[in-house]
Amino acid sequence: MELEEVYEKLESHSENNFWHDVTGDFLKVRDEKKENGFEEIAQIAQWEIEFFSFRIIKNELHSMWKSGDHEFPALKTFTDQTYDYLVTRLNSSKNPPVKARYAHILWLSPRRNFDYAKTAVDSYLASIILLEKLDQAEPDKHHGLHLVDTLLNAFRISISTKYKADVLKTEVLRLINEFYINSSSSFYLRFELTNLIIDQAKVFKDSDFLNITGVLTSVADVELKKDHWPSAIKLFELAERVDLKIKKDSTGWKRRMAEVYEKQMETRNDEDSVALTFCSHALELYKQINDRTKVSELELKFNQLKQSFQLGSVSHDIDISDVMEHAKSESNRLKALNNDDVFKYLISNKNLLPRYEDLADQAEKSKNEFPLQYLMPKTIYDKWGHPIQHFGNDEERMQFAILQGFDLSLQAAHLHFLHYIMIDLIRHRKISYESFCSFLDRDSWLTKEITRKTRKGNSYSYRWLDILSPGVQSYFTEIYFWLLDDDRKPNFVLVVDSLALKIEGLLRDICEFSGITAFISQNDGQGRITYRQKDINTLLREEKLLALIGQNDSFFLRFLLVEHVGYNLRNQVAHAFFGPDEYTVTAAHLLIIAILKLSRFQVIAKEPAET
């Protein structure tokens, strides 16, 4: 395959959902030319692969993947030769989507020039015309999704440069009002663009919103006919936001939403947890509009559903053979090291647990590839069927995706890897309670004596290792005797109950000795000021603590101890929610890792603290 063939293919396309196909073609050219010694052509093909691998989100360039300090593609790898070639391609292409991509990359690069911004906007506008025609011809092919991305890219450039801002504003309003209502992209387009005009208060006036709620209602009616209940609810929520913005009565939208939730509830079996969710949402909305009749009716229904609700589970078979091979290899390597180096590995190895930046990047990528699934709110239930947390807005849904990704990554690979290593190292006495204490005694603040002074002037001292020892010793003892007798069921109640609660104290001392305030003041409701220690939920969200322990370890501790989507060990233990079978070896492993990670800080109290 030749470069010219791929160029021709690029010029023949009129929508931008084909980058992966073109990237594959450039990849073939690169490999063929490299194999035959045509390095210059191979390099050009590689540049094209990078141009079409960038993701452009909110007028920012994003790499396709990032791991630590490595990312692909990245502008920092571009040379003057790369940019010269990119300019040449921009000038030679006649296809609007292609020109828009080349020009937008240049606009966001060190070669930034106003002409590139103008070319990008003009090319995006031309692409919108092409995409709308495609959507009219093939309304079920989701061309409108790409139209939205194209329009948003153009809009953000125009707002920042003032180039054709009025044209883009008019185009946004035109598409909301006139885009084909039966298109498969109709809901997504109206949802995204209406949110845009609400958020861009400096650009759009109240008069621009006059017909919007009527359009949203019409689209919602279409969605309801298709039984697309969540889409209709999102549109009614949006209509409510519009009316609130222009100061119109918006209570009718809550009733419309409540009615949809009721309808959804009626379509589910009473044993279905989703029916409980729908009932809960409808009940809350009727309370907000003070419909006492419906509130009484749904409170009765909610209690009936709660009685019949049964938690279910979904399982999938995952091939972990590669993970276990790697675990065996790594464990053999660790057994050749001295004890201290093994503990240092457990503290600092970046692959032992999922990394926040990888999960966040994957969640963002998934959101852009599958935007519709990120529009729906998420609800978390306790084991009795009560909804205990909702993830409704964009930030919350993204946080849910990252937490869920952490859990899935743990289940699929990391826990298998960690369990094998920990058990094998204990089996061969490479790590033990004695070596754990010896390591900390040499290298950790946990063995340092801390002195505190009470309000009455008395002093008392403690070492964290002494406080943690019963739980840590129980961990090693239970596993060791389990290895000696397969029929013996280990008991991790002491391990989990003790360590899950003690970590809050570790974090508080780290904060205090690092100059981070560990208490807050509050009004008791009668004009009097009281003080209380920050709880673990507050401590783990302290920006200064995050900077100290790092994003990865902070997120791990939140997942392990306080997040409902995670293990929530601290709260489950503190409120005695755990049953006997929930005190697992997995929880014990992770608590030991958490203790080790927190042991690495060098924190010294400058003077005795008063308690």
Q: For residue range 513-540, what is the model confidence (pLDDT) as tens digits? A: 888 887 777 777 777 887 778 888 888 8
Higher pLDDT: 208 or 318? It is 208
- Could you tell me the pLDDT band of residue 369, with boundaries at 50, 70 and 90? low
Judge whether residue 20 has pLDDT over 60. Answer: no
Q: Which residues have CB under 8 Å from 151's CB, separation 6+?
A: 124, 128, 168, 171, 172, 175, 193
Q: Tokens for 370? A: 């599958």
Residue-wise pLDDT for 149-191, tens only, equals 999 999 999 999 999 999 999 999 999 999 999 999 999 999 9
- Residue 595, phi then psi, degrees to nearest 5: -60, -45
Nearest 5°: the CA angle 66, 380, 352 is 35
Residue-wise pLDDT for 400-428, tens only, equals 889 889 998 898 889 999 999 999 999 88
Q: Which residue is it, tokens 């918006």?
A: 250
- Could you tell me the pLDDT band of residue 486, with boundaries at 50, 70 and 90? low
Residue-wise pLDDT for 320-331, tens only, equals 788 888 999 999
Q: Tokens for 585? A: 């070896």
- Residue 200, phi then psi, degrees to nearest 5: -95, 65
What would the mean pLDDT of 211-239 be, rounded to a whole number?
Answer: 94
- Could you tell me the pLDDT band of residue 385, with boundaries at 50, 70 and 90? low
Classified as helix, coil or strand, 526 is coil
- Between β-strands 378-381 and 55-57, what pairing exists: parallel, antiparallel or unpaired? unpaired
CA-to-CA dists, residue 467 to 343, 464, 472, 501, 584, angstroms? 20, 5, 10, 11, 22
Residue-wise pLDDT for 87-122, tens only, equals 999 999 999 999 999 999 999 999 999 999 999 999
Q: Tokens for 18? A: 């084909």
Residue-wise pLDDT for 45-57, tens only, equals 999 999 998 989 8
Judge whether residue 311 has pLDDT over 60. Answer: no
CA proximity to 14, closest of 109, 103, 113, 131: 131
How many Cβ atoms sit within 10 Å of the Cβ of residue 113? Answer: 13
Give this prediction's pTM.
Answer: 0.58
- Could you tell me the pLDDT band of residue 606, with boundaries at 50, 70 and 90? very low
- Residue 533, phi then psi, degrees to nearest 5: -70, 140
Ordered by where they begin, the domains of the chain are 1-191 (no CATH), 205-310 (1.25.40), 321-610 (no CATH)
Judge whether residue 439 has pLDDT over 70. Answer: yes
What would the mean pLDDT of 56-60 be, rounded to a whole number?
Answer: 87
* CA gap 52, 6 in Å, rounded: 13
What would the mean pLDDT of 241-258 be, rounded to a whole number?
Answer: 94
Lowest mean pLDDT among 346-355, 452-461, 496-505: 452-461
